[in-house]
Chain A
């Protein structure tokens, strides 16, 4: 396509050159289709489901609502960037152990949101968990086990402090 541009994105600590990309591509599209980082999921492309959540300069953001070419010079962290394959974080392990995963499509976005929540509020109340994760739609679990998983991590981390 003619309207292409060349730019560099900083993702998971690595600089990625993006060449010949159509300039209307969202960050979600570029992550998935050009950088091979398919952990971020797209389910609505309008910020109404949270499946594509990433951290941009430490803020939890829907990557579908970021024009990729405008994210130059920013630090993007995706689900692939928070732990090496096979070495899940405490939040990831808790999701597995406490039944927070069913189909798993919303899961990467929820993991990103849960990490962001626990960074900011290490010991959230149940209501705080519900509000802070309310931008992440899950269609399988009814959320009960997800809340349980986040609470378990919070308690475990408090115990270590």
Chain B
């Protein structure tokens, strides 16, 4: 086992290209748990947490797109300017672990681990984020929904690194909500992000209730047909129906953290409440 700290993106890619089995270490908040528990003894570790290119972000005003480097931490994402541009992502960031965890944990790490309970992931799914991947052979960009192929399974190729994630900056309401049993430092039992895009589309993505992050096409098109954008209103009965439709899209399981029945119920409530927040006038 050896540990190599990459100083530049190129150096990291060369190291990964030479030994594609290397474990990529970003903030360490997932990877180190596995090492500490003896669940994983990687032959080689490439630390990417201090690569300057990965720690930057940029905003393209023309396309209203935010590009966030994979090494930006959740601690940074909690605050402005992200809070202004992608409030749902900042809200999700505030629920990640503890302040200590948020200081270390990166957006790229969350995407790479790709747990269905990953707090930032419903936001990426709802906003239809693009994941930018890079290797010595070149780069490619894929939809987050195509990137996440299953619980902790991704479309990452050997030798490839997550470089950044881009997100559209919408002008309308978006929000995130997550249910856990504790008021801090808790793994999501059910989470959802609802965002209204710039053409009035209502998007909702669910976390912790399926093998991947789930969108709810039926509920989304129903919402689009019943909300009044002008008055930012929705009828209570329609909000209730929207919640039921979102819940029926969930594919939850029973485990030691919660039950499938509760998770589905929680999605129904969260989806309804999120829609009412987006369209608060009855």
In the assembled complex, A141 has its CB within 8 A of some CB on chain B: no
In the assembled complex, A3 has its CB within 8 A of some CB on chain B: yes
Q: Which residues of A sit under 8 angstroms from B2, Cβ to Cβ?
A: 3, 5, 23
In contact, A64 and B36 (Cβ under 8 angstroms): yes
In contact, A3 and B1 (Cβ under 8 angstroms): yes
Bound CA–CA A22/B37 (angstroms): 15
Q: Which residues of B sit under 8 angstroms from A62, Cβ to Cβ?
A: 29, 100-101, 104
Q: Which residues of A sit under 8 angstroms from B37, Cβ to Cβ?
A: 45-46
In the assembled complex, B9 has its CB within 8 A of some CB on chain A: no
Bound CA–CA A50/B98 (angstroms): 8
In the assembled complex, A107 has its CB within 8 A of some CB on chain B: no
Closest approach, in angstroms, between the C-beta of A53 and any C-beta of chain B? 6
In the assembled complex, B270 has its CB within 8 A of some CB on chain A: no
Q: Is chain B's binding surface mostly helix, strand, loop or mixed?
A: mixed
Q: How many residues of A contact B (CB 8 A)?
A: 33
In the assembled complex, A97 has its CB within 8 A of some CB on chain B: no
Bound CA–CA A5/B99 (angstroms): 31
Q: Which residues of B sit under 8 angstroms from A134, Cβ to Cβ?
A: 98-99, 183-185
In the assembled complex, B156 has its CB within 8 A of some CB on chain A: no
Bound CA–CA A7/B47 (angstroms): 15
Q: 0/1 per residue, B6-49, Cβ < 8 Å to A?
A: 00000000000000000001011101110111000100010101
Q: Which residues A89-140 have CB closer than 8 A to chain B?
A: 113, 131-136
In the assembled complex, A147 has its CB within 8 A of some CB on chain B: no
Q: Which residues of A sit under 8 angstroms from B75, Cβ to Cβ?
A: 59
In the assembled complex, A67 has its CB within 8 A of some CB on chain B: yes
Bound CA–CA A65/B35 (angstroms): 9
Bound CA–CA A39/B27 (angstroms): 23
Bound CA–CA A61/B99 (angstroms): 8
Write the residues of chain A forming the contact surface with B, with a CB cutoff of 8 angstroms. 3, 5, 7, 22-24, 26, 45-48, 50, 53, 59-62, 64-67, 69-70, 72-74, 113, 131-136
Closest 4 CB pairs of A and B: A135-B98, A134-B184, A69-B3, A3-B1
Given A134-B184, A135-B184, 8 more pairs with CB closer than 8 A: A26-B35, A47-B33, A66-B104, A70-B3, A73-B50, A134-B98, A134-B183, A135-B98
